């Protein structure tokens, strides 16, 4: 398969593993790369030294192009981005912030930048800032998809930009891939699908809960972590959304986060305060949600934890290897394309 995404990133198939915290680990990233796609290391929960070690671990596991995610709104993200640039990783996925300074430095060593966007305005801004491609995340996606569905958002953005687009949200097989390509995308992200594989670190209990869930068994709300976010529908998730953020709990959790990320708490607090009241509240929401996501992912605790998941969970009913998923998706895509060819005569 050949698109501008395969050409820019130097990969066989235009299939991407997005950076999902506690899921997109070196092992899963490398598995996707070795199977012909590419993946982004999730650096949100990592401090700079952990990020550096994770990047080097990926290089031990694969010689294929890989990336890492950088959510610029988060404390410690700039420091992690510096590590990515120092390590000269092939692909940097920027979200929730301007990519200009990262793109300028990455391009000097031949690196590429793909920016995550959820609307046309941000897509055009990212192109002006030097992004090489866009990861367009629709309403169906896990976590922070936008208000517009993937299959409306993709053609709208494709018409407004000249750089290639990767479609994310609601895609779990070759049929979805062909649909996205037909609308102008040149690659697809399959986070929910790749999270339910043999190489995924996602806890077996959480994987099983997702397999048993249907396409309508999710909740989409901004009351969980401050940005509209899609999660698995459970009693814990419903309670978390109903309750909203607890400021005292967020303060306690932010202290734990500062320790995990090896950031002095005073430095963390000051870096948040200087961004203004709106950003303080946003990061307080993130802090409040942090441990709930972590325990659902790592421990399979859905009585307390909350799992980020996309609507495509309802299309998934097995736990194969990453290679099996990649081969199956490509085979399904070719079959769907052939079928369309006979129907559109």
**pLDDT score of 264:** 64
- The Cα–Cα gap between 120 and 126 comes to 10
**pLDDT score of 199:** 98
Regarding beta strands 67-71 and 91-95, do their DSSP bridges make them parallel or antiparallel, or are they unpaired?
A: parallel
Contact partners, residue 75, CB within 8 Å, separation at least 6: 257, 258, 261, 263, 268, 271, 272, 283
pLDDT for residue 49 is more than 90: yes
Band (pLDDT 50/70/90 cuts) for residue 226 is confident
**pLDDT score of 73:** 82
What topology is assigned to 4-202 in CATH? TIM Barrel (3.20.20)
In the chain, where the domains are located:
4-202
User: Residue 220: beta bridge partners?
Assistant: 230
Q: Which residue has the tokens 């077996």?
A: 204
pLDDT for residue 224 is more than 70: yes
- The residue-averaged pLDDT of 274-286 equals 56
For residue 344, what are the CA distances in angstroms to 33, 182, 199?
35, 13, 39
At 218 the three-state DSSP class reads: strand
**pLDDT score of 316:** 97
Q: How many CB atoms lie within 10 A of CB 151?
A: 20
Band (pLDDT 50/70/90 cuts) for residue 290 is confident
pLDDT per residue as tens digits for the range 84-94 = 999 999 999 99
- The Cα–Cα gap between 71 and 95 comes to 5
The token duo for 135 is 């990861």
**pLDDT score of 341:** 85
């Amino acid at each position: 398969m050949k698109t501008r995404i395969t050409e820019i990133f130097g990969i066989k198939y235009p299939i991407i593993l997005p950076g999902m915290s506690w899921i997109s680990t070196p092992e899963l990233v490398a598995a996707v790369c070795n199977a012909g796609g590419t993946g982004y290391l999730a650096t949100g929960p990592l401090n700079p030294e952990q990020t550096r070690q994770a990047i080097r671990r990926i290089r031990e596991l694969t010689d294929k192009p890989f990336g890492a995610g950088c959510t610029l709104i988060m404390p410690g993200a700039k420091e992690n981005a510096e590590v990515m640039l120092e390590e000269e990783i092939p692909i940097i996925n920027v979200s929730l912030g301007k990519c200009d300074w990262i793109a300028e430095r990455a391009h000097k060593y031949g690196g590429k930048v793909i920016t995550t966007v959820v609307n046309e305005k941000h897509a055009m801004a990212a192109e002006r800032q030097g992004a090489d491609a866009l990861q367009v995340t629709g309403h169906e996606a896990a976590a922070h998809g936008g208000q517009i569905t993937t299959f409306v958002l993709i053609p709208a953005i494709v018409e407004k930009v000249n750089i290639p687009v990767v479609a994310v949200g609601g895609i779990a097989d070759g049929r979805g891939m062909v649909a996205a390509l037909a609308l102008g995308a040149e690659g697809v992200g399959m986070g929910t699908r790749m999270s339910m594989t043999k190489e995924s670190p996602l806890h077996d209990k959480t994987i099983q809960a997702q397999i048993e869930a249907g396409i309508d068994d999710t909740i989409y709300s901004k009351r969980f972590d401050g940005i509209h976010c899609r999660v698995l529908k459970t009693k814990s998730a419903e309670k978390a959304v109903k309750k909203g953020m607890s400021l005292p709990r967020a303060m306690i959790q932010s202290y734990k986060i500062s320790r995990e990320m090896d950031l002095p708490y005073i430095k963390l607090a000051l870096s948040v305060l200087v961004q203004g009241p709106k950003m303080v509240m946003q990061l307080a929401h993130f802090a409040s949600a942090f441990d709930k996501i972590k325990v659902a992912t790592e421990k399979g605790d859905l009585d307390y934890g909350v799992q980020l998941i996309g609507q495509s969970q309802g299309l998934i009913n097995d736990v194969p290897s990453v290679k099996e998923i990649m081969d199956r998706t490509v085979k399904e895509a070719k079959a769907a394309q052939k079928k369309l060819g006979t129907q559109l005569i």
